[in-house]
Amino acid sequence: MLQDIEPYLACPHCARPLTLDGRTLRCPGGHSHDLAKQGYVSLLAGDAHTGTGDTAEMVAARGDFLAAGHYRPIADALTEAAVAAVAGAEAEAGGDATGDGGAGAGAGARGLVADLGAGTGHYLAHVLDALPGRPGAALDISKYALRRAARAHPRIGAVVCDAWRPLPLLDASADLVLNVFAPRNGPEIRRVLRPGGTLLLVSPTARHLRELVNTLGLLSVDEEKQRRIDEKLGPYLTPAGRREVEFTVRLSAEDVRTVVGMGPSAWHTDPARLAERLAALPDPVEVTASVTVAAYRR
């Protein structure tokens, strides 16, 4: 709930700490932000907009697909990496994963797990189940996604924000940042991570959904994606290990429609042409899921 992440939040206008007063977050500078009835709060700057966020249809498709368990191996691998990162940090700090906490809200508190581009909160909820007592901030620009994220786990607070702008979190406030198939803002991720904190990034390999990409005309992933990610994050974070997770999923025609509708190809695929090509696929069809789970440390 929002109360769980209140100590870590920063005003999007002046970057000062926010305090929850009833159903309103207030900062010492006089800015206020009301909690929506669906449980999330918008901390977008005044000139920002949500036009680039996932639509209600895309969010519904993602919710259905993930709930069916098709990507469970990805959630499991991410959770294993999160538990290992926290355990390693606790060992280095002598049992206190927050260490000195820097200047942020992490000092003396159970460190925040922030999910940048959290969507429905599916992956964040899995990680929080394995990290008892830790609060989770679901950060996304789609209010439709955050309506679901706010209900995905008792310790999730859902916040509308723009990943490409200053994040509404205090400096050094997060022990762990998750980023699953989502935009990455290296400078801001570094700022909100405490010293020794970890970014866990899940990105598709060139083999991801390969059986569908050419047949259905979907957006493809180039072979150099991981190298480009490393280059962009290099000035801010240090690589700390990675693993590839690859498995086969058996999808019905409806599942295939859903996986197309929940991702970036939904913005670039002609519905009539897609329906034609879908009809030519076997039902069910076996599809490769292939991702990299990479860790980076501040």
> pLDDT tens digits for the chain (298 residues)?
888 999 999 999 999 999 999 899 999 999 999 999 999 999 998 666 655 567 888 888 888 889 999 999 999 999 999 999 999 888 887 755 444 444 444 333 468 999 999 999 999 999 999 999 999 999 999 999 999 999 999 999 999 999 999 999 999 999 999 999 998 999 999 999 999 999 999 999 999 999 888 888 777 787 888 889 999 999 999 999 999 999 999 999 888 888 887 766 655 566 777 777 777 788 889 999 999 999 999 9
Going by their DSSP bridges, the two strands 40-42 and 156-160 should be labelled as: parallel
| CATH superfamily of this structure's domain 2-297 | Vaccinia Virus protein VP39 (3.40.50.150)
Going by their DSSP bridges, the two strands 193-204 and 174-180 should be labelled as: parallel
Residue in this structure with the two tokens 């191996």, named with its chain if needed? 73
Q: How far apart are CA 225 and CA 218, in angstroms?
A: 17
Residue 103 is predicted with a pLDDT of 41
Asked if residue 295 lies in contact with residue 242, where contact means CB atoms within 8 angstroms, the answer is yes
- Give 195's contacts (C-beta < 8 A, 6+ positions apart): 99, 100, 102, 172, 298
Distances 5 to 137, 138, 172, 223, 296 between C-alpha atoms, Å? 6, 10, 14, 38, 23
Residue 104 is predicted with a pLDDT of 47
Global pTM?
0.89
In angstroms and rounded to an integer, the radius of gyration of the C-alpha atoms of the chain is 19
Put the strands of the sheet holding 19-21 in their side by side order.
19-21, 24-26, 32-34
Write a three-state SS string for 119-148. Answer: CCCHHHHHHHHHCCCCCEEEEECCHHHHHH
Asked if residue 289 lies in contact with residue 73, where contact means CB atoms within 8 angstroms, the answer is yes
Q: How far apart are CA 70 and CA 197, in angstroms?
A: 30
Q: How far apart are CA 152 and CA 124, in angstroms?
A: 9
Q: How far apart are CA 1 and CA 191, in angstroms?
A: 24
Q: How far apart are CA 75 and CA 152, in angstroms?
A: 14
List the structure tokens of 65.
Answer: 């697909």
The half-sphere exposure of 41 on its side-chain side, counting CA atoms within 13 A, is: 26
Chain-centre distance for alpha carbon 290: 18
